[in-house]
Amino acid sequence: MTPRGFWHTTKPYTPGPALVGDLHVDVAIVGGGYTGMATAHFLREADPGMSIAILESEWIGFGASGRNAGFNMTKIGMMHSLTARRFGRARAREAHLYADRAVTLLHDLVGTLDLDCDYEHPGFLWVATAPKYSDRLLKEIALVHRLGITGIHLLDHGELLDRVDSPCYVGPAWWEPNMGLVNPAKLAWAWRDLVVREGVQVFEGTPVSSVEPGIAAGKVVLNTRHGRVTAGKAVLATNAWSHHFPQLVRRQVPVWTYIVLTEPLTDAQLGSIGWKGREGVEDFRNLVHYYRLTPDNRLLMGGRDVALGDGVGMDFDDDERTWAALRQDVRSMFPGLRDVRFSHAWGGPVSATLDMFPAIGYAGSKDVVYSFGCVGHGVSTTHLNGQVVADLLLERDTELTDTFFVDRRLAPFPPGGIGHATAQRIADYLRWEDRRFDTSPA
C-alpha cells in the first residue's frame, strides 16, 4: 500500500484479504469509497440479515475518499444560479436542501457511530479575490435568499479579515455555519471497521473486471481475478473509474484535482493569518482554490487547475506545474507564509457528468445500481447517496429517490476522442473566464 498523499500517512492501515474463490451474496458492492461503504451500512441497517460484500480493487480509501480536502459542505453540482438556469429554480433549491441534509447526516453519523476522523464543524467561507468575483458572489447570495434558502449569510469585508487575513480578498464573503472538516482517510477506514463489525465482507486488492446482470433472474455475476461473485443485486460505486464498465461508458469522465500541504505552521505564521475559527475556505473562481488547516496546523491548499488526463488511462495523480502554482498561491494569499516549507503534494480523480450533477440510477438492469458524479463535492453527498442507493436496491419509493438527479436520463459525453475534447473545451472555457475575472476591474 503506497500512500497517495498526507492523509494516508496519518494512521496505520492494513488492507484486508482479497477474494479467493467463489462467493454468493445478496448484494455485491464494487468500490470501497464512502459511497460503497455508506450503501452497505444503510442496507444492513434496513435488513441486518442481508449478506453484503464490498469488492475494492486497491484498498479502502485508495480513491477520492482517502485523498480529498475533507470539506463536508453543501456544494453540489454547479453554482445555484447555473443550476437554476439549467434545471429551474425549484431544483436549485431542492439540490441545496439535499446537500445541506447530507452535511448534517455525515455530522450526525460521525457522532452516533463514533467514526474516528478528527471531525470539526467550523463553517464555510466563500471569498472573492477580484471585483468580478465579488459581483458574482453578491448576486449568488441574493439568489439563494430569494430561493428561500436559510443558513447562508453575508459577512462584510472587515468581518472576513477578522476571521482570515489575506490581502487578496475583495469585498464581503459568503458565510455558512453548516460545514465540517474531516481527515478523509481516517473517515474511510473508520467506515471499513464499522461495516466489518456490522457483518459486511470487505475484500481489498480485488478488481472487478465485469458485472453481468440477467444471466439468471435476480442473479448478477461479478468477475474478479481469483473468484466469481454471484449476487441478487450489485452496486457500481466506482466513481471516476465508472467508465471502465461498458454499462456506464461515456456517462462520466475522470477529472484530476491537486493539493499541496505545508509543514505545521509556527505560532508566528498562524498569527499572521488569524484563522482562529479554522473555517474551510474556497474562492469564487470557476476552478476554485480550496484551503483549510489540518489538526496539526498545516495549511492544505488544493484546486487552481484540473487535468483531464488523456481520456484513456488513470495515471494522472502527479502534476508538478499545478503544485508549483499552488505553492506560489499560498505565498501570495498569505504573505506571512512566504518562507513556509511544503511537505506533501498529491492529486486524485473526481467524477464529472456532462451537467456536473451527481448521477444515481440503474445500469442497464434494475439489478445493478450506480452512483457517481459528485465532482469535488462528494464528502457529504456520497453518504446521503448511499441511502438513496440502498432505497433503490430495496425497491423503496422514498422522498430521496424522488430527487431530480436520481434515475434521470443521463446525457452521455460524445463518443471516442470527441467526448474527451468536449470535456477539454469545458475546462478551457472555465480557465479563460477565470483569467478574465482575475485581471478585470469591477
Would you count residue 178 as binding ligand FAD (CB under 6 A)?
no
Stretch 246-265: interaction string toward ligand FAD, x if CB under 6 A: -----------x-x------
Strands 208-216 and 219-224 come out as antiparallel
342-352 and 280-283 beta bridge pairing: unpaired
Residue carrying the nine cell digits 459577512:
155
Instruction: Choose between 247 and 380: whose C-beta lies nearer to ligand FAD.
Output: 380
By CB under 6 A, residue 279 contacts ligand FAD? no
Binding mask 32-51 for ligand FAD (x = CB under 6 A): xxxxx---------------
Residues 76-115 that bind ligand FAD (CB under 6 A): none
- In this structure, which amino acid lies at residue 328? Q
Record the cell numbers describing residue 89, joined without a space: 429554480
Find the residue with minimal CB distance to ligand FAD. Answer: 378
- Told to check if 239 binds ligand FAD by CB under 6 A, we report yes
Task: Check binding of 352 to ligand FAD (CB under 6 A).
Answer: no
Look at strands 368-372 and 227-236 and give their pairing. Answer: parallel
Instruction: Give the CA angle between residues 236, 238, 242 to the nearest 5°.
Output: 90
Interacting residue with ligand FAD among 213, 302, 336, 361 (CB under 6 A)? 302
Minimum distance of ligand FAD from residue 370's CB (angstroms):
10
- Confirm or reject binding of residue 238 to ligand FAD (CB under 6 A): yes
Q: How far is 206 from 57, CA to CA, in rounded Å?
A: 4
Minimum CB distance to ligand FAD, residue 56 (Å): 5
CA-to-CA distance for 327 and 331, rounded, in angstroms? 7
Q: What is the DSSP letter of 415?
A: S
64 binds ligand FAD (CB under 6 A): yes
Based on the shown chain and the rule CB under 6 A, indicate whether residue 123 belongs to the binding site for ligand FAD.
no
Least distance CB 377 / ligand FAD (angstroms): 4
In the set 4, 13, 25, 57, which binds ligand FAD (CB under 6 A)?
57
Shortest CB 82 distance to ligand FAD, Å? 18
Should residue 207 be labelled a site residue for ligand FAD when binding is judged by CB under 6 A? yes
3-state secondary structure at position 210: strand
Alpha-carbon distance of 109 to 103, in angstroms, equals 10
Of residues 170 and 359, the one with the C-beta less far from ligand FAD: 359
Closest CA to 344 of 120, 185, 187, 121: 185
Give the Cα separation of 279 and 293 in Å (integer).
8
CA-CA distance, 63 to 354, in Å (whole number)? 21
Residue closer to ligand FAD, measured from CB, 134 or 257: 257
67 binding ligand FAD? (CB under 6 A): yes
Distance in Å from the first CA to the final CA of the chain: 50
Distance CA 298, CA 418 (A): 41
Among 19, 27, 30, 78, binds ligand FAD (CB under 6 A): 30
Based on CB atoms, which residue is closest to ligand FAD, 42 or 290? Answer: 290
Q: Is residue 138 helix, strand or coil?
A: helix
Contact 381/388 with Cβ under 8 angstroms?
A: no
Binding site for ligand FAD (CB under 6 A): 30-36, 55-58, 62-65, 67-71, 73, 207-208, 237-241, 244, 257, 259, 290, 302, 347-350, 374, 376-380, 382
